[in-house]
């Protein structure tokens, strides 16, 4: 019986084998697995998953603690006093898990990883939501990020005009090349990816158009 089980596993479909092993790929496109490059922001609209941290990055970066420390190296940190206002958004990354709530939401820290995000909550700035692709159908380990730049609290933290493109570009500019946090050094390579996200504003939250570009970041601890 044991021999039969092992033999069956050897000849199992690739999708089944991904349950047991993380595939060495940068990411899987969500659409073939029934997913979307827009998350679910409510009301039938979504925010673009416009940055991907590659599954080929250093494994430590792809953990919850690792992405937090990497974010702190590029100017983001936990929300002010760990208080989150508003409902979490969800994403379907086509990995077999369906719609899953965000893992983290991180905000621009204005140079102070402890209290700087409190300033962002007041005056606005950049922020991003993190979703992990690790289901049985597409286990890349990649992190899909919904990045956007928002208005101040008086404007209800709505997204600024062109805020999805601007937020993405500001984040990537801060991340590219050499960065560090608490003695850990990172090197980030950036690649433009098209074909994952449709350009325009159809289905996009707040009706704000995007240019359709997704930035793929491969982050190495050096």
Whole-number Cα distances in Å, 188 to 4, 85, 112: 45, 31, 22
pLDDT tens by residue, 175-217: 999 999 999 999 999 999 999 999 999 999 999 999 999 999 9
pLDDT at 9: 36
CA angle centred on 148, ends 121 and 179, rounded to 5°:
85
Domain ranges of the chain: 26-221
Pick from 128, 28, 39: which is nearest to 75 by CA? 128
Pick from 174, 162, 171: which is nearest to 52 by CA? 171
pLDDT tens by residue, 101-158: 999 999 998 888 877 788 777 777 899 999 999 999 999 999 999 999 988 776 566 8
CA angle centred on 187, ends 185 and 191, rounded to 5°:
155
pLDDT tens by residue, 43-73: 999 999 999 999 999 999 999 999 999 999 9
């Amino acid at each position: 019986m044991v021999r039969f089980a092992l033999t069956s596993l050897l000849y199992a479909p690739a999708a089944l084998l991904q349950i047991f092993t993380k595939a060495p790929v940068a990411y899987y496109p969500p659409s073939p697995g029934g997913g979307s490059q827009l998350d679910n922001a409510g009301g039938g609209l979504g925010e673009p998953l416009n940055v991907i941290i590659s599954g080929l990055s250093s494994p430590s970066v792809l953990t919850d603690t690792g992405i937090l420390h990497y974010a702190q190296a590029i100017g983001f940190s936990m929300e002010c006093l760990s208080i989150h206002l508003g409902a979490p958004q969800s994403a379907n990354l086509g990995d077999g898990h369906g719609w899953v709530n965000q893992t983290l939401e991180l905000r621009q820290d204005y140079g102070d990883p402890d209290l700087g995000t409190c300033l962002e909550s007041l005056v606005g700035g950049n922020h991003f939501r993190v979703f992990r692709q690790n289901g049985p159908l597409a286990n890349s380990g990649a992190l899909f990020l919904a990045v956007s730049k928002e208005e101040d609290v008086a404007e209800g933290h709505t997204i600024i005009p062109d805020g999805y493109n601007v937020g993405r570009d500001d984040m990537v500019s801060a991340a590219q090349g050499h960065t560090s946090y608490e003695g850990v050094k990172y090197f980030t390579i950036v690649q433009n990816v098209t074909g994952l996200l449709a350009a325009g504003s159809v289905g996009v939250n707040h009706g704000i158009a995007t240019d359709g570009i997704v930035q793929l970041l491969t982050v190495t601890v050096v």
